[in-house]
């Protein structure tokens, strides 16, 4: 059994020392989802106390295929902070990561506040200012990416870094469900998907985030970035890797390691 504060400290220590660890639930089997979100919030509080700034939210495990692979049965939300932001062309900070993987995502930039309950994909999109391409760099603090849903919630959905593409699309002008994406590693296409892979519709994932935050008395705020969830499987990155997500209308975004 651990306290929320102890669990947050263990996860941040693992992140800061780039050292993997066993899942929290090995020593705290009673960890439930509400407590796991309290641990996640405590890690955010400590990041902010250290000078970091909240810039948005990411959804994780939004596709049924990825949920099956990771052995969990629901999507989750987690916090994005300024220190996780990479600019296009920045290298993936391999030295401070354990076993990073990269996955393509559709990114929303909020124009207006959006709070559940009752948010639908349609009402969610009305609060969006921009749609962009993105890449999410994940780096579970758990050895071999072995975790339960409460473990990964506490670990802020394996957050490590992300990049947002420069091409801007208006939400109304983009067929998000049909938006195609090719994932290239070292200039070779390794996977393909459309926006339908993200909860059937990335706008549905956005609504899910607003409703989930709403149930905790929180909201998506104007200016926030929302990573809506991976379209394909994540690919490992190592020294010299180059990963590109090439979208049909959102343009391309690349990370090099
Ligand atoms: O962004 C994500 O979907 C990550 C969710 C956590 C699961 C993982 O580490 O693969
Ligand atoms: Mg992701």
CB neighbour list of residue 125: distance below 8 Å, 6 or more residues apart: 171, 172, 203, 206
Distance 119 CA to ligand 1 centre (A): 24
Distance 26 CA to ligand 2 centre (A): 24
DSSP strands (E only) in 35-100: 54-60, 76-81, 85-86
Question: Residue 64: what pLDDT?
Answer: 81
Distance 86 CA to ligand 1 centre (A): 18
Please report the atom of ligand 1 found closest to the CA of residue 227. Answer: 1
Q: Which CATH fold would you assign to the domain 4-256?
A: Fumarylacetoacetate hydrolase; domain 2 (3.90.850)
The rounded distance, in Å, linking the Cα atoms of 43 and 85 is 17
Please report the atom of ligand 1 found closest to the CA of residue 61. Answer: 3
Question: Residue 66: what pLDDT?
Answer: 82
Degrees, nearest 5: CA angle 43-104-140:
35
- The ligand minimizing its distance to the Cα of 103 is 2
The rounded distance, in Å, linking the Cα atoms of 19 and 175 is 41
Distance 148 CA to ligand 1 centre (A): 12
Which tokens in the block code for residue 188?
Answer: 């070779």
Task: Give me the sign of the Cα torsion angle 186, 58, 106, 71.
Answer: positive
Question: Residue 73: what pLDDT?
Answer: 81
What residue's CA is closest to ligand 1, atom 2? Answer: 60
- The ligand minimizing its distance to the Cα of 141 is 1
Assign residue 46 a region: left if phi > 0, alpha if psi is -120 to 50, beta otherwise?
A: alpha
Please give the span between the terminal C-alpha atoms of the chain, in angstroms, as a whole number.
Answer: 38
pLDDT along the chain (257 residues), means of 10: 97 98 98 97 98 98 85 92 95 97 98 97 98 98 96 98 97 94 98 96 97 97 98 95 97 97
Strand, coil or helix: 115? coil
**H/E segment holding residue 235:** strand 235-236
Please report the atom of ligand 1 found closest to the CA of residue 58. Answer: 1
Q: Cα–Cα distances in Å, from 116 out to 40, 81, 120, 121?
A: 20, 22, 9, 12
pTM listed for this prediction: 0.97
Any residues with Cβ below 6 Å from ligand 1, and which?
A: 58, 60-61, 70, 136, 138, 140, 145, 152, 157-158, 230
């Amino acid at each position: 059994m651990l306290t929320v504060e102890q669990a947050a400290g263990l996860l941040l220590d693992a992140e800061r020392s780039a050292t993997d660890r066993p899942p929290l639930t090995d020593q705290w089997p009673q960890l439930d989802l509400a407590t796991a979100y309290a641990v996640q919030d405590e890690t955010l509080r400590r990041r902010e106390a250290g000078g970091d700034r909240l810039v948005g939210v990411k959804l994780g495990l939004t596709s049924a295929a990825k949920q099956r692979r990771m052995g969990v049965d629901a999507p989750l939300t987690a916090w994005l902070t300024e220190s996780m932001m990479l600019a296009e062309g920045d290298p993936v900070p391999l030295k401070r990561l354990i076993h990073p993987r990269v996955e393509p995502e559709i990114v929303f930039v909020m124009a207006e506040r959006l709070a559940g309950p009752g948010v639908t994909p349609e009402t969610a999109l009305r609060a969006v200012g921009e749609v962009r391409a993105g890449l999410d760099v994940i780096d579970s603090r758990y050895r071999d990416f072995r975790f339960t849903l409460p473990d990964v919630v506490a670990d802020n959905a394996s957050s490590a870094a992300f990049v947002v593409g420069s091409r801007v699309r208006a939400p109304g002008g983009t067929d998000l469900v049909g938006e195609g994406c090719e994932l290239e590693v070292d200039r070779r296409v390794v996977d393909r998907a459309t926006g339908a892979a993200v909860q059937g519709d990335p706008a549905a994932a956005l609504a899910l985030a607003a409703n989930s935050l709403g149930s905790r008395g929180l909201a998506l705020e104007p200016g926030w970035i929302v990573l809506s969830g991976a379209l394909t499987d994540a690919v490992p990155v190592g020294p010299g890797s180059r990963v590109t997500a090439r979208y049909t209308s959102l343009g391309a975004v690349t990370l090099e390691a």
